[in-house]
Amino acid sequence: MNVRNDIAPPPAPTADRLVEATRELLWERGYTGTSPKAIQQRAGAGQGSMYHHFTGKPDLALAAITRTAEELRALADGLLSGPGTAVERVTAYLRRERDVLRGCPVGRLTQDPEVMADPVLRAPVEQTLGWLRGRLAEVLAEGRANGELPPSVDPSGTAATVVAVLQGGYVLARAAGDTAPFDQAVTGLITLLAPPA
């Protein structure tokens, strides 16, 4: 009996395709520029399917933003909890592969007036950035306790600086149409965290 190995996997469930399409469109166009029709077209789903699974665009956007936020937290935590010293783990997080010119899929939402005006849509954005500052502060506090960082280092303030440099680096790179300003900002920050001996 011949078994075919070239059988395509079954298509993703409609709800999942709708969420993934919304995630992509929010990153590309923002909330205002993401229409229900564009979501349906990108997902290959009809209007009836969309409204069968979600009450409307805000409900679908919340599912998409929440999924993106959860993925970013898991990725960051994996790097920040990985092997190495505290500074090495923060460096691994800063140097991880990113689509710099597209910007941060969570950070970009802070520039979307409709997302920021809606407490429900804003919540996962605010929680994710807050979580990231807190997790970085924990790692930096560990580095200070282990003598990697001087006692004068404020873990919370430094964590906020790390997040600000990343988000600002995305903005500089997008403005220049080049990843070099992002890379320069990250390299400068790493030098401040771990100055040459």
- Of 3, 30, 13, which Cα lies nearest the Cα of 112? 30
Going along the chain from its start, the domains and CATH numbers come out as: 65-193 (1.10.357.10)
In angstroms, how far is CA 148 from the centroid of its own chain? 28
Q: How far is residue 94's CA from residue 116's CA, in Å, rounded to a whole number?
A: 26
SS3 120: helix
Tell me the pLDDT of the chain (197 aa) as tens digits: 455 556 655 556 888 999 999 999 998 898 999 999 999 999 988 888 888 888 889 999 999 999 999 999 999 999 999 999 999 999 999 999 999 999 999 999 999 999 999 999 999 999 999 999 999 999 999 999 999 999 999 999 999 999 999 999 999 999 999 999 999 999 999 999 986 66
